[in-house]
Each structure stands twice: as C-alpha cells, then as structure tokens.
C-alpha cells in the first residue's frame, strides 16, 4: 500500500498508523467516516487527534484489524462502554472469551442498586428481596 492511503490517528498522545481500507471494515462508525474535512484532522501533522483513552483505543484498533473485539481487563467496564459508544461500536460485539469479565460490572451495579433500595431501618428484607435462600 502506498502512503496516500495511510492514516495516522493520535489518540490521547499515542500515534496509531493504519490504512484507510482497514477503517472502512466496520461501516457507520466514527473511524469509517474520517475525512480531512473533520475538525479532528491536523493538516500540518497529517493526523487525526482524539483526546480519548489510548489503552482502550488499542483494543478498538485491533478490532478493526482482526474483526475480534476483546475487553481490556485493565480498565473498568463503564469506561470501556463509554469509549465504544464514542467510536460508534456495538458492545455486543465483545468476544465470548471476554464477555463474562466485561459484563461483570453490570451485575455488580444491579446488585448495588438492590442493596441501596433496601430499607435497612425497617423490617428485614425477605428472601425474595435478597435474591437467595439461606
């Protein structure tokens, strides 16, 4: 491939290089619609700059290259979801090998919501409210 099809993405200060055809692999996403007319493009540096999480972006860039979206275990689930939303990606595309780890934060948030809704000053919660049998 020649250099005119190379795209430089600066995400959070980390430069990623790829080809425009790689970014077109996943249509209707922020990266598939990049043009030099977008506000993120710097013509002097010939790169697109995004002030986003560079570690998560490495996983996103890998998804464009391989077609497999893996969850980085060094970030929290809500941060990963925010990044996917920003880039226009579907969280349901997370690979099966990462799905349990990725969705664990949702289960935790649901459990915390139940605990917060319990009236601890009133009658003790029933077994149904707690969600398990002693």
Structure confidence at residue 62 (pLDDT): 96
Residue 42 has pLDDT above 60, yes or no: yes
Structural domain includes residue 107: yes
> What gap in Å lies between CA 90 and CA 60, rounded to an integer?
11
Determine if the pTM surpasses 0.85.
Answer: no
Residue 27: CATH number of its domain: 3.30.710.10
Structural domain includes residue 134: no
Structural domain includes residue 25: yes
Structural domain includes residue 52: yes
Structure confidence at residue 102 (pLDDT): 80
Residue 120 has pLDDT above 90, yes or no: no
Residue 131 has pLDDT above 60, yes or no: yes
Structure confidence at residue 76 (pLDDT): 87
Structural domain includes residue 105: yes
In angstroms, the Cα distances linking 131 to 75, 118, 120, 124 are 29, 12, 16, 13
In which element (H, E) is residue 58 found?
helix 54-66
Strands (E), the chain: 6-11, 14-19, 41-42, 47-50
Residue 34 has pLDDT above 70, yes or no: yes
Is the separation of the CB atoms in 19 and 64 below 8 Å? no
Number of domain units in the chain: 1
Domain carrying residue 40: 3-121
Higher pLDDT, 81 or 123: 81
Residue 17 has pLDDT above 60, yes or no: yes
Structure confidence at residue 81 (pLDDT): 93
Structural domain includes residue 45: yes
Provide mean pLDDT across the span 12-38: 95
Confidence of residue 111 (pLDDT cuts 50, 70, 90): confident
> What gap in Å lies between CA 125 and CA 8, rounded to an integer?
56
């Amino acid at each position: 491939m020649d250099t005119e099809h190379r795209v430089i993405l600066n995400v959070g200060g980390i430069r990623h290089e790829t080809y425009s055809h790689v970014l077109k692999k996943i249509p209707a996403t922020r990266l598939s619609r990049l043009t030099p007319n977008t506000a993120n493009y710097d013509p002097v540096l010939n790169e697109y700059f995004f002030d986003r999480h560079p570690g998560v972006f490495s996983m996103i860039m890998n998804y464009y290259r391989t077609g497999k979206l893996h969850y980085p275990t060094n970030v929290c689930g809500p941060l990963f979801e925010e990044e996917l939303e920003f880039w226009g990606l579907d969280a349901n595309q997370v690979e099966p090998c990462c799905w349990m780890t990725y969705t664990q934060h949702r289960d935790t948030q649901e459990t915390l919501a139940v605990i917060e809704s319990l009236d601890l000053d009133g009658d003790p919660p029933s077994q149904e409210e707690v969600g398990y049998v002693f």
